[in-house]
Structure 1
Amino acid sequence: MARRWAALLLSSTLSCNALVGFGELERDVAIQVPDAGAVGVEAGSDARVEEASCDPGTDFGPPVLVPGSLHAAGTTEAAPTLTDDELELFFERRAGAEGAIFSARRDSIDEPFGESAEVTELGSTGRSFAPTLTGDGLALFWSEQTVEGQTITAGAIMATRRLARDKRFGPPEPYRTPAETSIRVLPHVTGDGAELYFSVLEAPNVSRIHRSLRDDRSTYQAPARVAELAAGSASEGGVAMSRDGLTMFFASDRAGTLGGADVFMATRPSRAEAFTNIAHVPALSSPRSDRPGWLSRDGCRLYLGSDRASDGSLYVATRPR
């Protein structure tokens, strides 16, 4: 089980980096993220995404490849994250131990994505993995990772911001300082920016989901483990949250999976309470590894990275109307 999870992390974006150029940042980094009520306003998409196009209580259909020019020969893709209107997609592209963040756009959610391009303003370090966006697409988080052989040796959560969707992102910086020394990977920020989840490698081949809350100064606080999601010596990582923050999809290699890491779901009564009702989601899982990336605001589409038919591609599962 542990070896399967280690392979999953390496094949889907786990590792880290030694941060360079941020030594002068001796304060808490306050990456400005939107208030909950502002998410999605810029794209003018709120009216449409508020209308659910499915029954949120039904099971997802089988995952299919995300349409578009997203799958390059000789590489693997994972960790899809989108803007609230689902017109802009960011994802990880990996070749060997190196990874970079790419993006692609489309004019309608009924159309395939166009050609993807690397987000070069992140530094083109070859160590950038697992992007995650706030709903308005203005704040971007990801993990800078280092892989030596088959071992994850370091990992830090980075952040950047842009003024508008047609602008470039600013210089990268740690999501908070002083930067933590533990290996931190696979971030997921809620659409409103209030919560930042990521996995911490707590022991060899054992990772746990942690959460950092944003305070009223838009500063992310010290993270704490989401203890109720842990299961024995299994690992958890890769999160997709519902718009209201009450439903989480995540990946785990705990007992009872179909193979590799499978998709699980958990719910909570409010954001201040613990997750319960943890359940396996067979409809989203396969005999290989599957990791949630992003859930649409209406809860009708779940985007994920999966090894089900290759070493790693981007998929979307849709609930029936």
Structure 2
Amino acid sequence: MRPALLLLALAACYSPTPEGVCTVACTTACPGELVCGGDGLCRATDDLDCVLRAEAGVDVGSPDAPRVQFGLVTRVDAISSGDTDDDPTVSPNGLEMYFNSVRTGSASGDIYRSTRPAPGQLWSTPLLVSALNSAAYENTPRLSFDGLVMHIGVADEILMSTRQLVSSTAWTTPMPVGALSSMEPDAEASMTRDQLSIYFASNRSGNYDIYVATRESPGSDWGPVTAVPGLNSAFDDESPFTTDGLTMYFSSRRTHTLASSNLWMATRPTVTDAFGPAVPLDELNTDGAEEDPWLSEDGSTIWFASSRLTSFDIFTATR
């Protein structure tokens, strides 16, 4: 934040050509040679070719089939402070969470870390991550999918830090990512799994929209920044999360009847296409604000921030 289970037969398949990318909603298992990706969709292992057999019970002719919905929403009580807690990001193994908090002990708003011994276990008491914090307001931490790179928002600018091991808290001093900067607030930057695309929110157009930059290889410089086609509205669109650039989870104020932001999802066949119409994640949304979606590696768990109780807290749901 800035300063119910469906069968595999209920599939979503996008095929720009007979040999194109084809996806099927999943939880943990997929038909044939497909694998369940971090975005909750079955995909071919090369993500380029997909053949879905009829005996698998998959309706390949139904691009508008229902998605797999999330179940009961619960607050992550172990890390709740009673003050603002938001911007969750979770490591690939699901054992480490970073988030923003203004709890007692923070300078103004800082990055905290909590761990757990195994998925499904309780999170530990959060600790301040000194290496990532300063006297300024730190927010929107976003881990890379290998757990070694962190992007954070500081003073309306995107900074980056790295570490050598996923078990380490020895993060380097965060440094500005100049290629993403503008004269307006920029934040909430997260990379795709291959680290070749980075999506973030920026106010450079006059309201918050979602932008993307790409590069040739991990570690190389980011190219030009462009608005993500088909995704943005006339209202604030923020908090992008995607593993592959094909399925996007984000927050938006686009529904005029909503007083605050809610969670949405949009998909597209390839990264060169515009996103299709966004759909609200109604099972997660309330009359309060919902922001900062983050999904587990297998796509079965989502964490997000919501003000549905009083101040912002971190909530979770599974599917």
Once residues 111 and 82 of structure 1 are traced to their aligned partners in structure 2, the CA distance between those partners, rounded to angstroms, is 14
Q: Secondary structure at the match of 1:228?
A: coil
* Amino acid aligned to 2:289: S
Distance 1:94 1:293, change over 3 A: farther
Q: Which residue of 1 aligns with 2:131?
A: 121
Matched, 1:80 2:88: yes
Q: Which residue of 2 aligns with 1:312?
A: 312
Give 1:237's aligned residue.
Answer: 238
Equivalents in 2 of 1:103, 1:238: separation in Å? Answer: 20
What amino acid does structure 2 have at the position aligned with 1:79? Answer: D
2-structure distance, mates of 1:107, 1:159: 27
Which segment is superposed worse, 82-91 or 50-59? Answer: 50-59
Structure 1 counterpart of 2:2, from 13, 16, 32:
13
Q: Provide the residue aligned with 1:71 in structure 2.
A: 80
Do the aligned partners of residues 53 and 202 (structure 1) sit closer, same or farther apart at CA in structure 2, a change above 3 Å counting?
Answer: closer
SS at match of 2:277: strand
Write out aligned runs for 1:83-98 (5 A). Answer: 83-94=91-102, 98=108
Deviation at residue 175 of structure 1 after TM alignment: 1.9
| Distance in structure 2 (CA, Å) of the matches to 1:266 and 1:200 | 19
- In structure 2, C-alpha distance between the alignment counterparts of 1:259 and 1:178, rounded to whole Å: 30
Q: Is contact 1:67–1:112 with CA below 8 Å preserved after alignment? A: no
CA distance in 1, matches of 2:292, 2:85: 13
**Deviation, structure 1 residue 212:** 1.7
For residues 152-301 of structure 1, the aligned pairs below 5 Å read 155-167=156-168, 168-177=170-179, 179-202=181-204, 206-216=207-217, 218-232=220-234, 234-241=235-242, 243-256=243-256, 258-301=258-301
Q: Per-residue displacement from partner, 1:221-273 (whole Å, max 9, x unpaired)? A: 232111422222x11011222x3332111111112554411111100112232
Label 1:279 to 1:119 Cα distance change in 2 as closer, same or farther (>3 A). Answer: same
Larger strand fraction of residues: 1
**Contact 1:13-1:99 at 8 Å conserved across structures:** no
Check the 8 A contact 1:201/1:207 in 2, yes or no: yes
Higher mean C-alpha deviation, range 262-271 or range 117-126: 117-126
RMSD: 2.5
Q: 2:122 is matched with which residue?
A: 112
Structure 2 distance, partners of 1:306, 1:158, is 24
Alignment size in residue pairs: 259
Q: Secondary structure at the match of 1:121?
A: helix
* Aligned residue runs from structure 1 range 37-52, under 5 A: none
Query: Residues 201 and 179 from structure 1, CA distance in 2 versus in 1: closer, same or farther, beyond 3 angstroms?
Result: closer
Structure 1 residues 198 and 100: alpha-carbon distance in aligned structure 2, compared to 1, 3 A threshold = same
Q: Against the structure 1 CA distance between its residues 136 and 256, is the aligned structure 2 distance closer, same or farther, given a 3 Å change threshold?
A: same
8 Å contact kept, 1:134–1:192 = no
TM-score between the two structures when normalised by the length of structure 2: 0.74
Name the larger-Rg structure: 2
Map Cα deviations across residues 296-321 of structure 1 (whole Å, 9 max, x no partner): 222211110110112100011211xx
Q: Is the 8 A contact 1:82 1:89 kept in 2?
A: yes
Q: Which shifted more, 184-193 or 293-302?
A: 184-193
Query: Which residue identity lines up with residue 82 of structure 1 in the other structure?
Result: V
The structure whose residues are more often helix, as a share, is 1
How many Å separate the matches in 2 of 1:92 and 1:120? Answer: 13
Normalised by the size of structure 1, how large is the TM-score?
0.74
**Structure 2 partner of 1:17:** none
Structure 1: gaps of 5 or more residues: 1-11, 15-49, 146-154
Change (3 A) 1:108 1:115: same
Counterpart amino acid of 2:72? P
Q: Following the alignment from structure 1 to structure 2, what is the Cα–Cα distance between the partners of residues 162 and 200?
A: 26
Paired letter, 1:117: L
Report if aligned partners of 1:79, 1:292 keep a CA contact under 8 Å in 2: yes
Q: Which amino acid in structure 2 is aligned with residue 229 of structure 1?
A: L
Cα deviation for residue 209 of structure 1 reads 0.8
